Amino acid sequence: MWWGIALWMATILVLQELLLPQLTPPQRAGSALLVALPGALMASWRRYCGRYHTITLSPGLLEFHRGTRVEQISPSEVRALLGLGGISLDGGEIVVWKKLILLTEDGNRPVALGADENASCYDHLRQMCPLAWCAPFRGDLEWPHAEVQPFEPGDMSFSLAILRRYYARQMAKTFFLAVGWTLGSIAASVCVLTHAEFNGDVAKGLAWLVVFVIVGIFLLAIVVRQFPVLLRIRRAEHALRRNADGGEGAGGKLTSS
């Protein structure tokens, strides 16, 4: 939705300021819609198909369903589990738990179930995946079940590195998206106020640009909330290195204290 609206408004600005300034506002809106609609539909379809929308949890097995495709993995293959937030305009909270990410050695599996379902699924997966480092959407870094399961220190470090790399990439992606939304919307607002004659259509466009600025600010807030978790991930990596340098053997115990 957001990308479609942004592309539509950006196309209107390009037509108005650069390509076809002689067109009337309705003509520009219609032409921009022809450009923006296919792109928005393709982006939405790609985003939907890139996620799993059903997951079946059973003892010793996780099943991911996407259309007719079913993928199965063992809970012990999950190296890290995290929750990611996003923007919602459903009438409740603005920033909600958008999806779960299960990280394994061979890639990641995004799961989108809905805010409440994501939280419940996270709790179940947290108990089922003993080797997974976990970071919920709202909360602190949660250690694997080291208290009840022997581990190899190298495996723990490897799993934590997978989480740290993915988490840092997601933070960078959200940060640049937020900056792009915010600065782009402000620049577009200045362009409209400078070159366009103020009328009802311009007022509607400015209102949408204000909404985009607010969306960008909320995305920046997500990054700010994630940053302390990334620092704790790095501290946990340092703790594991100190543990390894201290000569802790395989099958040892490591606690989060």
Look up residue 244 and give its amino acid.
Answer: A
Give domain status of residue 177, yes or no.
Answer: no
Range of the domain at 86: 50-172+221-245
**Domains of the chain: total:** 2
User: What are the tens digits of pLDDT across the range 207-247?
Assistant: 777 877 888 888 888 888 889 989 999 888 888 877 766 65
User: What are the tens digits of pLDDT across the range 126-161?
Assistant: 888 888 899 988 888 888 875 545 555 566 788 888
| Residue 152 and residue 240 in one domain | yes
CA distance 212 to 192: 15
Give domain status of residue 60, yes or no.
Answer: yes
- Predicted confidence (pLDDT) at residue 6 exceeds the cutoff of 70: no
Phi-psi map region of 234: left, alpha, beta (phi>0 left; psi -120 to 50 alpha): alpha
Look up residue 174 and give its amino acid.
Answer: T
Give domain status of residue 232, yes or no.
Answer: yes
What are the φ and ψ backbone dihedral angles of 232, each rounded to 5 degrees? -70, -35
User: What are the tens digits of pLDDT across the range 194-208?
Assistant: 766 666 766 777 777
Give domain status of residue 123, yes or no.
Answer: yes
Give domain status of residue 112, yes or no.
Answer: yes
| Residue 115 and residue 227 in one domain | yes
Give domain status of residue 109, yes or no.
Answer: yes
Structure tokens at 241: 């290195």
Q: In the sheet where 69-73 sits, what is the strand order?
A: 54-58, 61-66, 69-73
Beta-carbon contacts of 61 under 8 Å, excluding residues fewer than 6 positions away, are 72, 73, 74, 75
| Residue 233 and residue 148 in one domain | yes
The CA radius of gyration of the chain, in Å to the nearest whole number, is 23
Q: What is each CA distance from 28 to 9, 32, 35, 96, 186, in whole angstroms? A: 10, 6, 11, 35, 21
Give domain status of residue 184, yes or no.
Answer: no
User: Quick one: pLDDT at residue 255?
Assistant: 45
Q: At what angle do helices 2-14 and 153-195 cross, to 10 degrees?
A: 40
| Residue 24 and residue 57 in one domain | no
